[in-house]
Amino acid sequence: MKENQRLKKLLDDHFSGDPWIDVPLLKSLDGITAKDAARSIHGLNSIWQIVHHMTCWRETILERVKGKKIPSPADNYFALIEDLSSKAWVNAIKRLKESQKDLQHYLSVEFTDPDVSPEGSSYTRYELLQGILQHDAYHLGQVILIRKMLAG
């Protein structure tokens, strides 16, 4: 199996399939209302902020593997969410799903030279894309923990 196929499978399983950790990312977000997604407990980032953060990093890494130089923002993409409407929450999930489609498209059509580092990066394309899995898994754990805290 080629590296792009392995990465595609791992990303699909982790996002909405059957990952080895038993909980796919999208399933962890099922049933969360905008109100709960926006709640901050004990000063922690909210689920919404975490989703925004993951989405932004997915988009950034995808652009970086394509050779664009995108600096890391000072806020690490943990911005305050200003529009707390249900529609905005639906759009946040939609944007996360779009990032998944974009990654899958890249791996299907554009992914070449996995061992090459994009200009300005000390990591290879493969390492950057593998990092998305690690990053998402880390934040998936946070989402699950916050959900448990919200449930009381």
The whole-number average pLDDT for the span 107-135 is 93
For the chain, the average pLDDT equals: 95
Q: Do the Cβ atoms of 13 and 23 come closer than 8 Å?
A: no
Residue 28, amino acid: S
Nearest one of 126, 124, 59 to 92, comparing CA atoms: 59
Residue ranges per structural domain of the chain: 3-151
Determine contact, residues 114/126, Cβ cutoff 8 Å. Answer: yes
pLDDT for 120: 85
- Is a pLDDT exceeding 80 seen at residue 1? no
Of all residues in the chain, the percent with pLDDT exceeding 90 is 88
By the 8 A CB rule, do 114 and 107 touch?
Answer: no
Residues 96-119: pLDDT tens digits?
A: 999 999 999 999 999 989 999 998
- Find all residues with CB under 8 Å of 30, minimum gap 6, and list them: none
Model pLDDT, residue 119: 87
Residues 6+ apart with CB under 8 A from 15: 24, 25, 26, 100, 136
Q: Give residue 17's pLDDT.
A: 96
The distance of Cα 24 from the centroid of its chain, to the nearest Å, equals 12
| pLDDT grade for 3, boundaries at 50, 70 and 90 | confident
Altogether, the residues listed in the chain come to a count of 152
Task: State pTM to two decimals.
Answer: 0.95
Task: Please give the CATH number for the structural domain made up of 3-151.
Answer: 1.20.120.450
